[in-house]
Amino acid sequence: MKSPFIGSRMLLFIMLLMGCIVNLHAYQQTDRPNVVLIITDDQGYGDLGITGNPHVQTPVLDQLGKESIRLNQFYVSPVCAPTRSSLMTGRYSLRTGIRDTYNGGAIMATEEVTIAEMLKEVGYNTGIFGKWHLGDNYPFRPVDQGFDESLIHLAGGMGQPGDFTTYFKGDSSYFDPVLWYNGKQKSYQGYCSDIFTDEALAFVERSQNDPFFLYLSFNAPHTPLQVPEEYYDMYRDIDPASGFEADGRPFPEMSERNKEDARKVYAMVSNIDDNVGRLLKKLDELEIADNTLLIFMTDNGPQQPRYVAGMRGRKGNVFRGGVRVPFFLRLPDRLNGNRDIEASLAHIDVLPTLAEICDAPLPENRKIDGQSFHSLLRGEKADEFDDRPLFFYWTRRYPELYNNIALHKGDFKLVGNTDHDASLEAFGLFNVKEDPYEQENIVRSNKALAEELKSEMDEVIADLTQSPQLNQAQRMIIGSEHENPVYLNRNDADGERGIWTQEEVFGMWKVKTLDGRYNIRFKFIKPLETSGKMVLETNSVIVQEQYEEVPTDEITLSNVYLPEMEVDLIPHYVTEGRSIFPLWVELEKISDR
């Protein structure tokens, strides 16, 4: 017979062991914080109450800002896809293959390692809800780039030609949309920002017992400016240009249309504010707020003229009004809040910072342009940021020497809005510490400094424009088991510069086809009124078929054989001397050869 003493000792040992396991489990759950990254679209630095706007009502975000560590000199790219690629990878956008917001230039190379992939490797559940804008087909979608759960719209914005499930809804594209859940079309009811928040909250509920990364990427307040009526009513009678007369800072001229746009933008921002409030409440209810690293930021300056805290420029521009944005970071159980950091930091710094805080290894075999600012968050001095250069540019398709291009280093910023062979005097040099509104060009009295910054700018441009990902086509894969059918949209169409909603335009999609037979459907912006010939060019393989059944806005070529090849897919409908490019193309693989 076993001794009862031995049995009790064994029971005690088992209880202690179980306690250790429970404690270890608890440690594992709390050692790495949850990460919530909120980014809004075209919300400028001035579109918050906390940044001095007397008109916009953002009580939740203002309070969040007061509780957070505020990065007061935080910079992004002048437009959205470049910002998002740098945010996701810690690399300048040109290194990732991103060179535009459309024109086939908003497809990030699948070889890039995202925050989601980095955190997934150390046990995080990952989810994106909202705007992706880094490629809509395999292997570039969020589900191919580290996200376990993905609810997005296509292209750069809902209601745009690239987001063809909402494009034809016109003035109601933000309401009751067809979105893309894990790569499949799915219908939703309600307003887009509310839908993205609803699904984000459900993701948090499901993930609360494990570390998670939530990327809540609102498409608002990007155009088209659509918002529920109750939010617009909050601003119906305001004058967005009033109240700044005694401010002393530069203020843009606002037309009546600009003022009406501002009212709608502020309404959309107030809706976002309410939705962020819902998310914060959920974190509190689940008792995980203290161990959740929460970031709020925006992707670039405002698209329309309105209050931007006196800064020069807006979206698309390398002046501070286009690239300086609010950035709030809160992690209550580890970092003291309600503090300001004045170091010049940028989107490229977010990934390495999260890597350090979340104890995740940085992506290997690539240059990470950003630096971790965790030491600054801990209250330590970090001299390495004092003279670190930050590079900005924006032109369509590829960088243009020296058009809308800038290098910011320390207190000084060199800006080019001139020709490729212009003299140094044609550049702008600004002391952004003494002249934060970039009004006084000091290049003539500081030529040596300007020459030094220009030389450094040239080195950065030469490096980035020779990036392998930029100079090789990012090809969507047709006929893969990962995505069938494939929808090719106008946002990812290359060809003539500025291809958007034109009918008679040369366009193509850069793809890799897998060997097999396909049904190929072409959707046109307007119905075709006259008979003609549907032609699909794929380098050496050209398929054509006469078509008589007009009027129609869709044509299908059935049982088309395509070999395995990397190719420019060029469809056009030829009729009466016209060549008409489709809005989108669906390719469904029906069999192997």
Q: pLDDT digit string (tens) for 353-401?
A: 999 999 999 999 999 999 999 999 999 988 889 999 999 999 998 999 9
- What confidence tier does 21 reach under pLDDT thresholds 50, 70, 90? very low
Which residue is it, tokens 């580290």? 146
> Burial letters for 377-388: b for 16+ Cβ neighbours within 10 Å, e otherwise?
beeeebeebeeb
3 state SS of 500: coil
Residue 322 main-chain phi, psi, to 5 deg: -95, -20
pLDDT, residue 373, reads 97
- Side by side, the strands of the sheet bearing 345-346 are 324-325, 74-75, 345-346
- The stretch 235-261 carries a mean pLDDT of 94
Please give the structure tokens belonging to residue 557: 């070529």
Instruction: Name the amino acid, one letter, at 584.
Output: W
What is the three-class DSSP state of 217?
A: strand
Q: What token pair was written down for 22?
A: 């429970």
Q: Is 452 helix (H, G, I), strand (E, B) or coil?
A: helix
pLDDT in tens, 521-551: 999 999 999 999 999 999 889 999 999 999 9
pLDDT of residue 437: 97
Identify the band that residue 31 occupies on the pLDDT scale cut at 50, 70 and 90.
confident
CB 479 within 8 A of CB 587: yes
pTM of the predicted model as reported, rounded to 2 decimal places: 0.94
What contacts 168, CB < 8 A, 6 or more positions away? Answer: none
Handedness of CA 347, 351, 356, 362 (dihedral sign): negative
CATH architecture designation of domain 476-591? Sandwich (2.60)
Following DSSP, what letter does each residue of 59-117 receive, concatenated?
HHHHHHHHHSEEETTEE--SSHHHHHHHHHHSS-HHHHT---SSTT-----TTS--HHH
What percent of the chain has pLDDT above 90?
92
Question: What DSSP assignment string belongs to 260-328?
Answer: HHHHHHHHHHHHHHHHHHHHHHHHHHTT-STTEEEEEEESSS-SSSS--TT-S--TT-SSHHHHEE-EE
Q: Mean pLDDT across the chain, nearest whole number?
A: 94
Please determine, for residue 441, whether its predicted confidence score (pLDDT) is greater than 50. Answer: yes
DSSP-derived pairing of the beta strands 324-325 and 74-75: antiparallel
Q: Is the pLDDT of residue 6 over 50?
A: no
Q: What is the mean pLDDT of residues 211-234?
A: 98
What are the boundaries of each domain within the chain? 1-31, 35-381, 390-465, 476-591
Q: Which of 16-30, 132-146, 181-195, 504-518 has the lowest mean pLDDT?
A: 16-30
493 contacts 583 by C-beta, under 8 angstroms: no
160 closest CA partner among 106, 235, 241, 229: 106
- Whether 176 shows a pLDDT value over 90: the answer reads yes
- Give 18's pLDDT tier (boundaries 50, 70, 90): low
**Average pLDDT over every residue of 104-117:** 98
Are 265 and 40 in contact by the 8 Å Cβ rule? The answer is: no
**Is residue 246 very low, low, confident or very high in pLDDT (cuts 50, 70, 90)?**
confident
Q: Where does the pLDDT of residue 3 fall: very low under 50, low under 70, confident under 90, or very high at 90 and above?
A: very low
Query: CA 324 to CA 528: how far, in whole Å?
Result: 46
Cα distance between residue 127 and residue 108, in whole Å: 18
Binning pLDDT at 50, 70 and 90, where does residue 24 land? Answer: very low
Contact 101, 80 (CB under 8 A): yes
CATH superfamily of 35-381: Alkaline Phosphatase, subunit A (3.40.720.10)
Cα–Cα dist 15/23, whole Å = 12
Tell whether the model's pLDDT for residue 39 goes beyond 50.
yes
* 416 and 432 Cβ atoms separated by less than 8 Å: no
CA–CA distances in Å: residue 378 to residues 291, 357, 375, 405: 16, 11, 5, 33
**In Å, what is the CA distance from 25 to each residue of 244, 286, 357?**
55, 18, 19
Per residue in 298-348, pLDDT (tens digit) is 999 999 999 999 999 999 999 999 999 999 999 999 999 999 999 999 999
Please provide residue 496's backbone torsions phi and psi, each rounded to the nearest 5 degrees.
-65, 145
Answer yes or no: is pLDDT of 116 > 80: yes
Judged against a pLDDT cut of 60, whether residue 106 lies above it is answered with: yes
Say what the pLDDT of residue 7 is: 52
Token output for 435? 């002249």
The confidence score (pLDDT) of residue 245 equals 80
The encoded tokens of residue 167 equal: 């494009």
Pick the CATH number of 390-465 from 3.20.20.100, 3.40.50.300, 3.60.70.12, 3.30.1120.10: 3.30.1120.10
Q: Is 548 in contact with 555 (CB distance < 8 Å)?
A: no
Give the mean model confidence (pLDDT) for residues 439-457.
98
Residues 6+ apart with CB under 8 A from 183: 138, 141, 143, 150, 483
